Amino acid sequence: MSPREKIHFVRTGDFETVEDELMAAMESLDDTIARIDTLLSSPETDTLESQARAHGPDAPEGSGEPIESSAEVSV
């Protein structure tokens, strides 16, 4: 078995800066998650979801009707 060599670590202030940035990013993420949770649990979200289901995926924005029946085509 080979002899073990000691490993020396040199700590700099870089780790503290990275840790501070990481903590700030995590706090920002927590705030964003809280806002999303609030939006998803609000009564307006239920109304918007039911409207979206009623209009279907083929409805143009704001039309209220599916594309097939939204306008007559004249040639």
- To the nearest 10 degrees (0 to 180), the angle between helices 14-41 and 43-55 is 70
Phi, psi (5° rounding) for residue 41? Answer: -95, 0
Which pTM does this prediction carry?
Answer: 0.43
Which tokens hold the place of 42?
């609000």
- Tens digits of residue pLDDT in 48-60: 777 777 777 665 5
- Residue 45 backbone class (left: φ over 0; alpha: ψ -120 to 50; beta: rest): alpha
Per-residue pLDDT of the chain (75 residues), as tens digits, is 678 899 888 877 788 888 999 999 999 999 999 999 998 888 876 777 777 777 776 655 555 554 554 455 554
**Could you tell me which residues come within 8 angstroms of residue 64 by beta carbon, excluding any fewer than 6 positions away?**
55
Q: In the numeric block, which tokens belong to residue 55?
A: 């209009």
